[in-house]
Amino acid sequence: MQASKRAFQKLLISTILTVIVMFSVMGYLVYSGNRITTKYTPLLDAAMEMMLETTTAHLWFMEVISGDKQGTIEKVRQHLDKADWYAGAMLEGGRNQEEVILPLTDQALRNSVQIARRIIAQFKEISHLRHARSLDDLAGSNIDQRFDRVFKEFLSVAGDVELKLQQKIQTELAGFRLIAGGLIVGTLLIVMFVVIKLIKYERDQLRHIEHIDEARGHIEAQSRQLDHQANFDQLTGLPNRALFMDRLQQALNHAIHEEHNVVVMFVDLDKFKSVKDTLGHQASDGLIELASRRIHECVPEEDTVSRFTGDEFGVVLTAIQNREKAMDMANQIARKINLSLNQPFLVDGRKLILSASIGIAVSVGEGCTAEDLLRKAHIAMHHAKVEGGNNQKFNTDELNEAANQRYEVEQALRTALVNGEFILYFQPQWEVESHRLAGFEALLRWNHPKKGLVLPDYFVQVAESTGLIEEIDSWVFKSACAQYAEWVGQGLRPGRISVNLSPGKLHQRKIANEIADLLLEYEIPNQAFELELTETSLMENSYRTHKILEKFKQLGVRLAIDDFGTGYSSMAYLRDFSIDVLKIDRSFFTSLGKDPTAEAIVRNIVNLAHALEMQIVAEGIENMQQLQLVKELLCEYVQGYKLGIPISSVEASALLASDQAQSNPHFLH
C-alpha cells in the first residue's frame, strides 16, 4: 500500500510536474510565439506599407510631370502622409485597423527608419515645389531629377529596414524552433500549437510577398500606361504635342545631315466650336476621332500625324529632297485632307461636313528649330482661316510681317486696357415723327499714344481673335452706363443708350448677370439699355443664342440687329428670336435713286419687320430724299453722319441740353 501510495504519489507528482511542465512549456511557447508575432509582423507590415505608399506616391508624381495636374498632387500628398504615418508608428508605436505596431527597440533600425522619414519629408517638399512650378518646369527638370535621386535613396534605406527586420525574425524563429525541438516530445498540444503558429506565420509571409509582387506588377503596368499617356492622345491614339515636337526635332536634325527638307502642317478644323456646342461633348469627341482617322489616311505611313488639343492637328512630312517638291507634296496632301473632310460624317444620325484651315511651313536648313517651324505653320494657318477656311496657306515673309504687326496690336491692346486708353463717342439717333433726340449709340475709340484716335476697324479683328474683345466689351458697358448716369445727374434725359455686343461676349455664360448688375449699380431703366447684335452672331449656335436672348428679354433690355441686310438677311430667323429693333444697313439708302430695286427691298424689310412688331432704325440717312422715304415707310428712328457724327461725351451733353430746350426741333439742314 505504502509503495503503491508512494508510486501513486510519485505518479501524481510526476503527472502534476508533467502537467506543470507541459503548461509551462505551453505558456512559454505561447508567450514566445506571440512575442515574435505581435512584435515583428506588424513592424514588417509597416515597413512594407511605408515602401508601397512611397512608391505609389512616386507614380502619381510621374503623372504630375506628364501634365495631368487636376487632383493628382493631392494623391501624391495622401500617399506620402500614409508612408510617414507608418514610419512614425515604427518609431513611436501605433495602431491601425488591423494590428498594433510596437516601437522598434533596435537603435540601428530606428536610425534607418528616421532617415527614411526625413526622405519622405523631402518627397513632400519636392512635390509641393514641383506642383507650384508646374507651368515653368518641363518633364526631366532638375526638380524631377532631384525627386528620382531621393526616391532611389529611399528605396535603399527602406529595403535595408525590411531586410534587417526579416533577419531579426529569422534569428528569433531559429532559437524558438531549437527550444521547441528539445522539449517534451509527448506534449502533442504544444507541438501542434507551435506548428499552427509557424504555419500561420509562414502563410502571412507568403501573403505579404505575393502582395508585394502584385504591387510591383501593378506599378510596372501603371508605369507603362503613364508612359503611353505622356506621349499619345487618349482619344485618337495619335502622338500628342510633346511626342510630335520630339519627332519634328529629330527629323530636322536628320534633314541637316541628309540635305533633306521637312514640312510642318498645322491643321485646324473650321468652326468646330459651333459644331461641338450643337452636338455635345461626347458626340463631338466621336467626330474628332473620325476626322483624325481621315487626316491620318491622307498622310504617308512613314510620316507623323499628331493631335495637339481640341480640333488642332499637326503633320510632319520628312525626307523630301528639294524645296519645290516639298511644297508640291504638302499642297497635294493639304488638298487631299480637305477633300476627305468635306465628305459627310454620320454622327448620331446627322450628316456633318467639316473643313480645315491648314498652314504649311518648310524647313530652311541649319538653324531651323521645331518651335520656329511650328510657329510659322500656325501663322499660315491663321491666315488661311481669315480667308474663310477650307484652304491652305504657305508661310511667307509677308505672313510673318503681318503676324508681327498683329502681335504688336495685341500687346498694345493689353496695355490700353491697363492704361485706360479707350474712350467712348456717341452718335445721335433721332425720332422721325417728333424730330427729337431719341438717344445715342455708344461707339468705341482708342486714344492711341502714337496714332491718335483710332477707329475699331484697326483693332477689333485682333481683339476678337485673342478674346480681348470680351474684356473691352465689359469696359464699354460699364463706361456707357456711367455716362448715362452722369447725364441723369445733370438733369438731362438721355433717352436710350445702345452698345454693340460682340459674338464672343454674347455667348459668355454670365453675360446677362453682368448687364443686370450694371443697370442696378447705375440705376438705369432696363428699357433704356439696348444691345446691338450682328446677324452672324445670332446664327452661330442658335439654340444657345436663343437661351441667352431669353434671359435678356426677362431682364427687360432692348435687342437690336445692326447693319441688317449685310449678313444672312433672313426674316425667318427673326421670328425665332425676341428682337425689338432692326437697323437697316446704310447701303440700301445710298442706293436710292440709283438702283430701282433698293426702295422695294427696303419697303419689304420695313413691312415684314412691322408685322413682327419690330421698330426700324434707318442708318446712313444723309439727305431730304432719303428722309422723305423713311417717313413714308413709317420708320421710327434715323441715324447718319449728316444727322450727327459721333461726338464726345461733352458734346453729347450739350446736344441733349439743346434738344430739350427747343420747342420746335429739327435735325436735317
CATH number at residue 548: 3.20.20.450
How far is it, in rounded angstroms, from Cα 463 to Cα 472?
8
Per-residue model confidence (pLDDT) at position 17: 54
Q: Is residue 505 part of a domain?
A: yes
Residue 69 lies inside a defined structural domain of this protein: yes
484 and 438, same domain (yes or no):
yes
* Residue 567: predicted pLDDT: 59
For residue 536, the tally of other CB atoms under 10 A from its CB is 11
| Rounded (10°) CA dihedral 226, 227, 228, 233 | 80
Average confidence score pLDDT of the chain: 81
Q: Are residues 437 and 364 in the same domain?
A: no
Write down which residue in 349, 364, 395 finishes a domain.
395
End position of a domain, from candidates 231, 266, 293: 231
* Residue 401 is assigned to a structural domain of this protein: no
612 and 532 in a single domain? The answer is yes
Reply yes or no on whether the pLDDT at 294 is more than 90. yes
Verify that 176 and 250 share a domain, yes or no.
no
DSSP secondary structure letters along 272-298: HHHHHHHH-HHHHHHHHHHHHHHHHHT
Per-residue pLDDT, averaged over 541-569, amounts to 81
pLDDT in tens, 558-583: 999 888 876 555 566 677 778 899 99
Q: Would 667 be classed as within a structural domain? A: no
Q: Does the global pTM surpass 0.85?
A: no
Same domain, 430 and 524: yes
Verify that 587 and 611 share a domain, yes or no.
yes
Whether residues 225 and 266 share a domain: the answer is no
What's 295's domain CATH number?
3.30.70.270
Bridging pattern class, strands 558-564 and 581-584: parallel
- How large is the C-alpha radius of gyration of the chain? 40
Contact 189, 85 (CB under 8 A): no
Question: Do 487 and 628 reside in the same domain of the chain?
Answer: yes
Alpha-helical segments (H) within 232-280:
241-258, 272-279
pLDDT at position 15: 52
Same domain, 222 and 250: no
Task: Mark which of 349, 368, 395 sits at the end of a domain.
Answer: 395
Q: Which of 125-139, 141-155, 174-188, 363-377 has the highest mean pLDDT?
A: 363-377
Taking the C-alpha atoms of residue 187 and residue 18, their distance in angstroms, rounded to an integer, is 9
Instruction: Kindly report which listed range (24-28, 301-305, 653-657) carries the lowest average pLDDT score.
Output: 24-28
Is position 669 within any domain? no
Predicted confidence (pLDDT) per residue in 338-362, tens digit: 999 999 998 887 888 899 999 999 8
Does residue 605 fall inside a structural domain?
yes
* Residue 236 belongs to some domain of the structure: no
Q: What domain range includes position 188?
A: 2-231
Q: Mean pLDDT over residues 519-533, rounded?
A: 94
Does residue 527 sit within a domain?
yes
Alpha helices in 535-632 (DSSP H): 535-539, 542-555, 571-576, 586-590, 596-611, 624-632
109 in the same domain as 27? yes
> In which element (H, E) is residue 657 found?
helix 649-661
Say how many Å lie between the first and final Cα of the chain, rounded: 156
Total tally of structural domains belonging to the chain = 3
Phi-psi region of 522 (alpha: psi -120 to 50; beta: other; left: phi over 0): alpha
Same domain, yes or no: 25 and 104 = yes
Q: Are residues 384 and 445 in the same domain?
A: no
Share of the chain above pLDDT 90, in %: 27
Asked if 120 contacts 150 with a C-beta cutoff of 8 angstroms, the reply is no
pLDDT reading at 598 higher than 80: no
